[in-house]
Structures are given as structure tokens and as C-alpha cells.
Amino acid sequence: MSAVSGVFEKAAADGRGALIGYLPAGFPSVDGAIAVAVAMAEAGVDMIEVGLPYTDPLIDGPVIQEAVQRALIGGVHPADVLRTVESLVSAGVPALVMTYWNPVQAYGVDAFARDLALAGGSGMITPDLNPEEAGPWLRAADRYGLDPVFVVAPSSTGERLAKVVSVCRGFVYAASVMGVTGARDVVSEAASGLVARVREHTTLPVGVGLGVRDGVQAARVAQFADGVIVGSAFVQCILGAPDLDAGVAAVAGLAADLARGVRLRTPLPADDAPSADDSG
């Protein structure tokens, strides 16, 4: 069983949704990102998506774009991404890489898969790679025991969903909205319908991302999804903090709020809703 499958199986056994956090490597620094990600895990995040910063982040909203830009200005390289993964896994935190495809091609598909496996990574999420062009990555993933995770969207047809999920392992990443990433006041109503449609084609767990900002929303999503994926809200905690220590504290507070939400699996009344450190 892969570490990814283990995360979802444990969450299901506990009667809750899995909580997955995202953070770009190198933000606010390489060591700072590691400290932040470990704090996320200690506060209740089950698995971390380590972002590989890229100069043309097509689906990333302004919050993640700002973080990625800062990481790139700081000189982050793919080797730093792999070191981040290795550090997290050494700390007992399952980790995947989330990346656009061009940096992997530039690195070398087989070489990147080999080095990711050597770092202890569990797999890779590739939002701009389609199954028809994924042959080299799928072969490398098989060779090195990695989980390939692809993204489906509300616009995906039934035929397309079947094609995408047929090449997924670990879980299916369901984008709850069309457009770019970012925390939102209301998670798209299309998300639950998309999850139901995905489940017509696979028994793999389904994680929902793009939009969750606090424990109330996490509880709502965990009612119908196997996993809740949070990125922009965590990144905003760091962007809004005066220093790393404050950022770590803010991230830990948000992670605890989200972890409570995925365990409740029912939205709290507004008066009782826990506050989040993220403003969206």
C-alpha cells in the first residue's frame, strides 16, 4: 500500500475526511517551508503537497502566484523541492509533489521520478498533464512505485472522467471550480456533483481542492469527499505574517481548525464556527 492510500484508509477508518495541505517549496525560504509544513502536519494535516515553483503558474490564483514568485526570486530549484520532500518524509509526513509538467520534462521524466522516490515522495500531482501525453510519466511512476494523480474539473464529460481516473493512483484530485486557485467564501456547489460523477468510474478516494478556507467549509466538503485539499489559505497565513514564527503559528491555528472540520463532517452553525487565520 502506498503512503497516499494509507492516509485515506486511516482517515476513513477514523470516520473522517483526510486533510491535505499545499505549500510551495522555497516559500518563505527552503528551510522556512519545511518548518511551516511540519507545523501543518503536527496540527492535523495528514499529507502535504509540495509545490514546485514555476514561472508560468496557469491555474494558480494571486495568493499562490505571489508565494511562487518569492520562492523563485529566492533561487529555489528542483533539488530544493526534493530536499523539502525528504525532510517532511523524515519527519513522518507523507508528501507528494504538485507541479506543472514543463519543469519535469526539463529535469528528465525518469530522473525526476527516480529522485522523487529516493527522497521518499509518494507521487506527483500534474494539473496540466493529460492522460494522452502522460505515457513517460506513467511508465516512470510504475518503475519507481509512485502514485500519479490527475485533476478532473466540473466541465469534464463522463467519457473524460473515465479516461482520467483510469490512469490515477492514490486518489483523484477534483477541482471544485473552474478557473484559478484561491480561498473562497463559498465552496462551489458543483463540487459534490463532480465527486459523485467521479465515483461512477472509480473506487479511488476523491480529494476536493480549490476554495476551502476554514473549518466550516472543510466540514461541508468532508460530507461528500474523501479528502479536503487546502492551499491558498495556508499560503495567505505566511504572506500575512510579520515573520516566520508568526507564520508558523498562524498556519498551525488554521490547520487545527481545518482538522476539526474534517472530523465533524457537518457544518457548524455560524455563531459556533471556529475562526480561521486566513482572510481568503
Catalytic residues: 49, 60
How far apart, in whole angstroms, are the C-alpha atoms of residue 200 and residue 91? 37
Given a contact cutoff of 8 angstroms between Cβ atoms, the answer to whether 250 and 277 are in contact is yes
What are the backbone dihedrals phi and psi of residue 22, each rounded to the nearest 5 degrees, phi first? Answer: -120, 140
Residues linked to residue 123 through DSSP beta bridges, in sequence order: 147
- Helices in the chain by DSSP H: which ranges? 3-13, 30-42, 62-73, 78-90, 101-107, 109-118, 135-144, 158-166, 190-198, 215-222, 232-239, 244-264
Counting Cα atoms < 13 Å in the Cβ hemisphere of 115 gives 15
Q: For residue 16, what is its C-alpha cell?
A: 473522517
> In sequence order, what DSSP letters do the residues of 59-106 get, joined into one string?
T--HHHHHHHHHHHHTT--HHHHHHHHHHHHHTT--EEEE--HHHHHH
Q: For residue 278, what is its C-alpha cell?
A: 486566513
What are the backbone dihedrals phi and psi of residue 86, each rounded to the nearest 5 degrees, phi first? Answer: -60, -40
β-pair type (172-175, 151-152)? parallel
Question: What residues contact 201, with CB distance under 8 A and at least 6 apart?
Answer: 158, 161, 162, 165, 166
